[in-house]
């Protein structure tokens, strides 16, 4: 009798409305996190889905018990539900609700650890394209050590090849985030942190900084154009031959606290990117480090030898 109110015909209608609402908005292309175009973003999305599913199970169980209790045990006259004011323990129930969340969390935890370790390494099958990223006050400087070109607030990357970003900052901290390719990583002064991403579909995506760094920080949006490898090579050599070079003077101009649009440079001064990471960046063994004088060549370095 108590559940009669849930069986009324409009229940289906409400559910349908919710479903349509979610589908019409939830599947839009603007939900960038839900529409990854590369393996990193896809793995992250799969984990989100797994976690969301496990949490949905918890939510359903808790909500069922909760609504049942709240409706059944209301203090209304004539409520015939049993009243047991001194009932305060039940061994098996209590064991159950230690075990149940633990089991569900184990289901999430195992792939979490696996994927965390997987994403820490660039797949060895292909040589990655390296891009040295420096966040400046309020702009992004991207240097391509392999192609000897540099860009500001614009990225062009080849598809189907991992891209290894080496991140540092000549500014307050920022994070490099290109949601459709995958998760973000901080840029920090005096550190070089690695992040690899990959686009498997050609297209234009957007990226930005997710860490507040001052009044102009919302202008740090940039476009990422993913093109096939040979188009990328053609673009790089075209930039290399036709654009103006970035001199130290230009770099110092970039250091000013202001915002700017896109810019392309045919080459860049060597020492604008740190040659070795300092400090206590916990890169772990087997992580990629760029060595002095070996720009563009990736060397496996255990942590103990990196400093």
Partner 1 sequence: MPSFLPYLYHTLFPPTVRYPDILLIDFGLIMAGIGLLGFMTKTRRWGWLWREWLTTVDHKKIAVMYLIAAIVMLFRGGIDAEMLRAQLALPTTKFMPAAQYDEVFTTHGTIMIFFMAMPFIFALFNAVVPLMIGARDVAFPRINAMSYWLFAFGAILFNISFVIGGSPNAGWTAYPPYTGLAFNPGPGENYYFLALIIAGMGTTMTGVNFLVTTVRMRAPGMTLMRMPMFVWSTMITSALILFAFPPLTVALAMSLFDRLFGSSFFTLTRGGMPMMYVNLFWLFGHPEVYILVIPLFGVFSEVVSTFSKKQLFGYPVMVVSMLAIMFLSYGTWVHHFFTMGAGPAVNAFFGLSTMLIAIPTGVKIFNWIFTMWGGRIQLTVAMLYQLAFIPTFVIGGASGVMLAVVPADYQFHNSYFLIAHFHNVIIGGTLFGLLSGLYYWWPKMFGMKLNERQGKVAFWLFFIGFWITFTPQYLLGLKGMTRRLYTYPIGMGWHELNVISTFGALIMGAAFVALVYNIVWSLLYGEKDLTGDPWNGRTLEWALPSPVPEYNFARIPVVHERDAWWAMKQRGQSLADLKPEDVRDVEMPRNTPIPFLLGASFFVVGFGMTFKFWPIAIMGFVGVILCILFSGFDYEDHHHLKADVIRSTEASLGRLQG
Q: Which of residues 220-279 bind partner 1 (CB under 8 A)?
A: 221, 257, 278-279
Binders in 67-96 for partner 1, by CB under 8 A: 69-70, 73-75, 79, 81-90, 93-94
Residue 77 CB, nearest approach to partner 1 (Å):
11
Return the sign of the alpha-carbon dihedral for residues 33, 137, 154, 188.
negative
Binders in 89-148 for partner 1, by CB under 8 A: 89-90, 93-94, 97-98, 101-102, 105, 108-109, 112-113, 115-117, 119-120, 137
Binders in 186-215 for partner 1, by CB under 8 A: 186, 188-191, 193-194, 206, 208-215
Residue 1 CB, nearest approach to partner 1 (Å):
18
Task: Count the site residues for partner 1 by CB under 8 A.
Answer: 99
279 φψ region: left (φ > 0), alpha (ψ -120 to 50), beta (else): left
Residue (119 or 235) nearer to partner 1, CB: 119
Closest to 131 (Cα-Cα) out of 301, 273, 293, 276: 273
Helix 39-72 vs helix 91-119: crossing angle, to nearest 10 = 170
Q: Strand 182-187 relative to strand 149-152: parallel, antiparallel, unpaired? A: unpaired
When asked if residue 20 is in the footprint of partner 1 (CB under 8 A), the reply is no
Quick one: 47 exposed, middle or buried, by C-beta within 10 A (0-12, 13-18, 19+)? middle
CA angle at 238 for the pair 193 and 221, rounded to the nearest 5°: 45
Binders in 31-70 for partner 1, by CB under 8 A: 31-34, 41, 43-45, 47-48, 50-52, 54-56, 58-59, 62-63, 65-66, 69-70
C-beta separation of 137 from 257 below 8 A: yes
Residue (221 or 247) nearer to partner 1, CB: 221
């Amino acid at each position: 009798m108590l559940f009669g109110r849930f069986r009324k015909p409009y229940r289906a209608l409400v559910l349908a409305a919710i479903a349509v609402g979610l589908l019409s908005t939830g599947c839009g292309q603007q939900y960038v996190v839900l529409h990854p175009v590369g393996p990193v973003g896809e793995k992250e999305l799969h984990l989100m889905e797994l976690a969301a599913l496990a949490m949905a199970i918890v939510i359903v169980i808790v909500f069922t018990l909760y609504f049942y209790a709240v409706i059944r045990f209301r203090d209304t006259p004539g409520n015939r539900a049993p009243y047991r004011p001194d009932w305060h323990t039940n061994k098996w129930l209590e064991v159950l609700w230690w075990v149940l969340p633990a089991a569900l969390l184990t289901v999430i935890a195992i792939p979490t650890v696996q994927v965390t370790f997987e994403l820490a390494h660039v797949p060895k099958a292909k040589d990655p394209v390296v891009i040295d990223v420096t966040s400046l006050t309020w702009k992004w400087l991207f240097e391509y050590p392999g192609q000897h070109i540099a860009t500001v607030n614009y990225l062009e990357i080849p598809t189907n090849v991992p891209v290894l970003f080496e991140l540092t900052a000549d500014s307050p901290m920022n994070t490099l985030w290109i949601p459709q390719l995958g998760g973000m990583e901080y840029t920090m002064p005096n550190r070089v942190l690695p992040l690899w991403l990959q686009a498997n579909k050609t297209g234009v995506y957007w990226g930005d900084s997710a860490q507040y760094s001052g009044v102009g920080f919302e202008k740090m949006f940039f476009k990422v154009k993913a093109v096939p490898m040979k188009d990328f090579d053609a673009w790089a050599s075209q930039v290399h031959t036709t654009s103006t070079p970035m001199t130290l003077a230009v770099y110092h101009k970039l250091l000013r606290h202001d915002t700017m649009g896109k810019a392309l440079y045919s080459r860049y001064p060597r020492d604008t990117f740190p040659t070795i990471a300092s400090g206590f960046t916990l890169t772990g063994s087997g992580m990629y480090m760029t060595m002095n004088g070996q720009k563009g060549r990736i060397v496996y370095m255990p942590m103990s030898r990196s400093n």
